[in-house]
């Protein structure tokens, strides 16, 4: 009898577990009521309906379009054989609601033409996923993970699926093999907005990122990481065991930031371009507004030597250009001096890069004005950027000719093909407002002279809804009053000098 009673007690749910289950049930009921009030279904139901809709598609449909819609957190991947770039997914937020895309676009480099491709059994909409193209079986695009957000941003669904697409496009599910970290592995701290790249010796490199650290009870402050790790095989005879190894970086190191975009430089694949990013300063007071420094500088990372270099654009007439930031800080000078001391044993080319960078900081960078936005970036005191500073950057060269630089941004799409670097979209924040880009640029990796505009972005056409105004104020108004109120809440991003 005693043994039977023990078995019964093992299956009995303890008091704290019961309480937790009841609390979770109540929260689920409350959430369903809140979703019903705003006319939104459960997010898992939304994803399931989208997957059913995709499964009903029978044939591939291709439509030539002018350009993809504004987006961020998408993937831009070079086709392994064809002169094409593949764009997949992404998201857009207008201040009121979020749209997550599941569309796929093919950019024909020779024709400079975008084609919207709808294929049977495509992955459901997602953003923040990862994609890589391989030469296997005539070319494959592998897609992993990502996130789906409900329009109200009250629900989030994270994918852990793995997809493979072939050309011609077809979809299949694949199993994700398990990997194990060894006991002596020191894993990176949890983070987002980091860089992940493959190395020539079949390792995985992780750099930087962003996380929240608890400083007091119920108080967390943001932390920008600038560390670097390599994921290596712990046992040559066991492909399931891996370990993280912290590694040292050399050269003119990139300043701490998150949300930077990285891509391999083809065809060598032992170096990578790193562009943009943001440094968020929480300050000492958790109640202070977040102050962000957005970057548009370009770096090269040697994946074998783990060595950083600043990319200095030469210009067409032996002029010198460097990337900049939305605001420069004095600490950058100290970082450069420390980096120069660390890299004293570097080759002559590195010393030239350091000299060029120093010269560029001492000079003033003036922005060209097209009647919408202007900005001045240089060795002046840092100041908080404003909406009037959102203008593609053009530096003045010695022969009075201006050279173009894209605006600072994060989470853009970047890929290389035939030694040409392509940059599309991304996002920049200004206070509580977000600017999502739909511009498209290219840079010759051999000449490194200047960015070329393939598709310009008309920021004045982008509408932003001020989220600080509550829709509750309009609940009792008639339809005409609601329309008038909505018009008043709409803020067009159009700032004149």
pLDDT tens per residue, range 18-66: 666 666 666 666 656 666 666 666 777 777 777 777 777 778 889 999 9
Specify the pLDDT at position 486.
Answer: 46
Specify the pLDDT at position 49.
Answer: 77
Cα–Cα distance, 474 to 368 (Å, whole number)? 43
Find the helix or strand (DSSP H, E) in which 405 lies: strand 402-405
**∠ CA 381-329-344, rounded to 5°:** 130
Closest CA to 143 of 91, 81, 89, 62: 89
Closest CA to 450 of 246, 274, 311: 311
Mean pLDDT, all residues of the chain: 72
The answer to whether residues 296 and 405 touch, using CB atoms and an 8 Å cutoff, is yes
Residue whose tokens read 């994918």 = 159
Answer whether residue 167 shows pLDDT above 70.
Answer: no
The answer to whether residues 291 and 320 touch, using CB atoms and an 8 Å cutoff, is no
Cα–Cα distance, 464 to 94 (Å, whole number)? 5
For the stretch 248-259, pLDDT in tens is: 999 999 998 989
| 3-state class (DSSP) for residue 433 | strand
For the stretch 300-327, pLDDT in tens is: 999 999 999 999 888 765 434 445 554 4
Phi, psi of 311 (to 5 degrees): -85, 120
For the stretch 249-303, pLDDT in tens is: 999 999 989 899 999 987 667 999 999 999 887 655 545 556 788 999 999 999 9
Average of per-residue pLDDT across 391-398:
52
Answer whether residue 398 shows pLDDT above 60.
Answer: no
Cα–Cα distance, 357 to 320 (Å, whole number)? 9
For the stretch 433-448, pLDDT in tens is: 899 999 999 999 988 8
For the stretch 180-224, pLDDT in tens is: 455 566 778 878 788 888 888 878 888 988 887 777 776 778 888
**Positive or negative: CA dihedral 86, 89, 90, 96:** positive
- The set of residues, in sequence order, having a beta carbon less than 8 Å from that of 268 and lying 6+ positions away, is none
């Amino acid at each position: 009898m005693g043994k039977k009673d023990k078995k019964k007690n093992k299956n009995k749910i303890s008091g704290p577990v019961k309480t937790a289950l009841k609390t979770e049930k109540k929260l689920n009921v409350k959430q369903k009521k809140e979703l019903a009030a705003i006319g939104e279904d459960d997010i898992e139901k939304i994803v399931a309906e989208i997957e059913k809709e995709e499964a009903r598609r029978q044939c591939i449909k291709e439509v030539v379009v002018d350009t993809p819609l504004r987006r961020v957190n998408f993937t831009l991947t070079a086709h392994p054989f064809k002169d094409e770039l593949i764009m997949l997914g992404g998201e857009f937020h207008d201040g009121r609601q979020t749209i997550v895309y599941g569309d796929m676009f093919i950019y024909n480099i020779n024709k400079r033409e975008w084609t919207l491709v709808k294929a049977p059994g495509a992955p459901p909409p997602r953003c923040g996923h990862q994609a890589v193209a391989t030469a296997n079986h005539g070319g494959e695009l592998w897609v992993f993970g990502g996130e789906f957000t409900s329009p109200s941003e009250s629900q989030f669904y994270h994918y852990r699926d793995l997809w493979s697409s072939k050309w011609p496009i077809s979809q299949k599910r694949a199993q994700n093999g398990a990997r194990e970290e060894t006991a002596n592995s020191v894993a990176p701290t949890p983070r987002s907005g980091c860089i992940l790249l493959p190395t020539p010796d079949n390792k995985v490199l992780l750099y930087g990122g962003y996380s929240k650290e608890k400083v007091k009870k119920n108080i967390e402050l943001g932390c920008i990481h600038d560390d670097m790790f390599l994921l290596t095989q712990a046992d040559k005879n066991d492909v399931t065991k891996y370990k993280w190894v912290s590694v040292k970086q050399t050269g003119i190191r990139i300043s701490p930031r998150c949300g930077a975009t990285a891509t391999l430089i083809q065809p060598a694949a032992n170096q990578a371009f790193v562009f943009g990013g943001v440094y968020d300063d929480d300050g000492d007071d958790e109640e202070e507004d977040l102050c962000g420094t957005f970057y548009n500088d370009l770096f090269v990372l040697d994946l074998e030597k783990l060595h950083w270099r600043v990319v200095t654009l030469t210009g067409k007439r032996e002029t010198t250009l460097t990337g900049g930031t939305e605001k420069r800080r004095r600490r950058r000078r100290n970082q450069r001096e420390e980096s120069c001391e660390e890299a004293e044993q570097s080759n002559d080319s590195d010393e030239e890069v350091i000299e060029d960078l120093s010269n560029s900081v001492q000079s003033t960078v003036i922005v060209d004005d097209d009647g919408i936005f202007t900005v001045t970036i240089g060795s002046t005191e840092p100041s908080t950027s404003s909406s009037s500073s959102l203008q593609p950057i053009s530096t003045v060269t010695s022969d009075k000719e201006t050279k173009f630089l894209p605006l600072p941004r994060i989470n853009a799409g970047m890929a290389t093909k035939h030694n040409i670097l392509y940059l599309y979209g991304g996002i920049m924040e200004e206070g509580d407002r977000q600017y999502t880009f739909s511009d498209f640029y290219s840079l010759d990796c051999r000449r490194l002279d200047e960015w070329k505009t393939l598709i310009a972005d008309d920021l004045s056409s982008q509408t932003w809804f001020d989220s600080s105004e509550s829709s509750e104020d309009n609940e009792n108004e008639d339809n005409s009053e609601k329309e008038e109120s909505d018009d008043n809440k709409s803020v067009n991003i159009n700032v004149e000098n």
